[in-house]
């Protein structure tokens, strides 16, 4: 049961700001928290996030906050939208101020380095709340298009389907269709992995490999995403849905994708250090490649595209050599190894 209609959004980047705009358009009271006090003050006065989402005024129903106590007071739902590498610290900071009975939703896409924890697992650990009260929102959703009111469909997953449907009803609009799910882990993994593959897809296009190569790459990327999902107990059908295939297609091919742009520049020969130095917003796939590859190694999975992308990003491997190494692997059947009862999928 939702105790109120109040929404708190933690994180005032492009995605957090667009979600604030969307929820305020629904007539919901929205409190938007910015990490830096000067940013909260600027947004409160200017009513436009010129740094991350220029051109989209904040509706009157959005209030700006820097104080954690004020930001989550009387909230029925807290939506976390901070970079994945900073979520643990921010969640810990808010722990003592969360209202009783509040539902939490992660709109952050990523896996934590070293621990391989998903964002909902971090929230459960740091806020010390029940897993059934913590969900995830993910799917093909560029912030600018959501802010513009263009049609968007996403998936909202909670372990408790009743909770998912309550939040679904509250957050849905004709131009923002929310599907409910119980597969929290599958929805999270799709959102985390697609960022890495978007960088790899960008590399393919930066190398001018053609549309055939892109189509083949995306198909094999989906196979790898499904392989990891199955290994951790997620539903493979989730990876074929909005939070898997849908988000992969958008992020790997859309011109608004930060991760794709990183790949394009890498494929064109620009060093990663230079690319990151000139980016205001975080390209989550750079850090997530390390975590996803580490998780694959821990589970003993073959994810060759993740492996090569990791080596390009973090070991300085030449993208062209990574491509050669992918294309010259041993030949294999496309399906039988993954369909054998008890068989272990390969690449």
3-state secondary structure (DSSP) of residue 285? helix
Distance CA 161, CA 182 (A): 6
Q: Is residue 222 situated within a structural domain?
A: yes
Q: How many domains does the chain have?
A: 2
Same domain, yes or no: 146 and 115: yes
144, 165, 182 — which closes off a domain?
182
Distance CA 80, CA 82 (A): 6
Q: Is residue 345 situated within a structural domain?
A: no
Same domain, yes or no: 66 and 119: yes
Q: With contact defined as beta carbons under 8 Å apart, do 76 and 103 qualify?
A: yes
Counting DSSP H helices and E strands in the chain, the numbers are: 17, 10
Strands 48-49 and 53-57: antiparallel
Which residue bears the tokens 């006065």? Answer: 45
Same domain, yes or no: 206 and 324: yes
Active-site pick, 109, 162, 185, 194: 194
Same domain, yes or no: 174 and 223: no
Q: Is residue 53 situated within a structural domain?
A: yes
Range 63-96 burial, b when 16+ CB lie within 10 A, else e? bbbbebeebbeebbbbbbbbbbbebbebbeebee
Q: Give the strands of the sheet with 62-65, arranged side by side.
A: 62-65, 30-33, 7-10, 77-80, 103-106, 134-138, 152-157, 176-181
149, 182, 215 — which closes off a domain?
182
State the pLDDT at residue 133: 97
For the CA atoms of the chain, what is the radius of gyration?
Answer: 20
Q: Is residue 164 situated within a structural domain?
A: yes
Same domain, yes or no: 163 and 255: no
Q: With contact defined as beta carbons under 8 Å apart, do 10 and 82 qualify?
A: yes
Measuring CA to CA, how many Å separate 57 from each of 22, 34, 43, 176?
11, 16, 10, 18
194 a catalytic residue: yes
Same domain, yes or no: 47 and 158: yes
182, 215, 249 — which closes off a domain?
182
State the pLDDT at residue 345: 52
What tens-digit pLDDT sequence spans the chain (347 residues)?
A: 677 799 999 999 999 999 999 999 999 999 999 999 999 999 999 999 999 999 999 999 999 999 999 999 999 999 999 999 999 999 999 999 999 999 999 999 999 999 999 999 999 999 999 999 999 999 999 999 999 999 999 999 999 999 999 999 999 999 999 999 999 999 999 999 999 999 999 999 999 999 999 999 999 999 999 999 999 999 999 999 999 999 999 999 999 999 999 999 999 999 999 998 877 777 788 989 999 999 999 999 999 999 999 999 999 999 999 999 999 999 988 874 555 555 555 55
Q: Is residue 144 situated within a structural domain?
A: yes
| DSSP H helical ranges for 232-334 | 236-239, 247-253, 258-267, 272-277, 284-299, 304-314, 319-327
Same domain, yes or no: 171 and 301: no
Q: Is residue 344 situated within a structural domain?
A: no
Q: Is residue 2 situated within a structural domain?
A: no
Domain containing residue 54: 7-182
Same domain, yes or no: 153 and 263: no
């Amino acid at each position: 049961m939702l105790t109120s209609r109040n929404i708190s959004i933690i994180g005032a980047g492009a995605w957090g700001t667009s979600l604030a705009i969307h929820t305020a358009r629904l007539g919901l009271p929205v409190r938007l928290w910015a990490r830096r006090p000067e940013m909260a003050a600027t947004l409160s006065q200017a009513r436009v996030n010129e740094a991350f989402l220029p051109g989209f005024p904040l509706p009157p129903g959005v209030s700006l906050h820097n104080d954690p106590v004020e930001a989550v007071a009387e909230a029925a739902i807290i939506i976390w939208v901070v970079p994945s590498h900073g979520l643990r610290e921010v969640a810990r900071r808010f722990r003592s101020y969360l209202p009783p009975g509040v539902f939490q939703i992660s709109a952050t896409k990523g896996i934590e380095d070293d621990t391989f924890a998903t964002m909902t697992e971090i929230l459960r650990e740091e806020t010390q709340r029940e897993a059934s009260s913590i969900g995830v929102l993910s799917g093909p959703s560029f912030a600018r298009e959501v802010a513009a009111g263009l049609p968007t469909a996403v998936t909202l997953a909670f372990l408790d389907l009743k909770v998912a449907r309550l939040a679904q009803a509250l957050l849905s609009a004709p131009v923002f269709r929310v599907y409910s799910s119980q597969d929290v882990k599958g929805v999270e993994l799709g959102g985390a992995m697609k960022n890495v593959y978007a960088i790899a897809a960008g590399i393919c296009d930066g190398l001018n490999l053609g549309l055939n190569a892109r189509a083949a790459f995306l198909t094999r990327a989906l196979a790898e995403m499904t392989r990891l999902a199955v290994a951790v107990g997620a539903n493979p059908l989730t990876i074929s849905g909005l939070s898997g295939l849908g988000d992969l297609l958008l992020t790997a091919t859309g011109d608004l994708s930060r991760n794709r742009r990183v790949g394009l520049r890498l494929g064109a020969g620009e060093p990663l250090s230079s690319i990151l130095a000139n980016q205001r917003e975080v390209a989550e796939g750079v850090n997530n490649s390390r975590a996803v590859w580490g998780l694959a190694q821990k589970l003993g999975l073959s994810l060759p595209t993740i492996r090569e992308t990791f080596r390009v990003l973090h070991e300085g491997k030449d993208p062209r050599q990574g491509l050669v190494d992918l294309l010259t692997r041993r030949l294999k059947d496309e399906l039988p190894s993954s369909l054998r009862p008890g068989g272990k999928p390969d690449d």
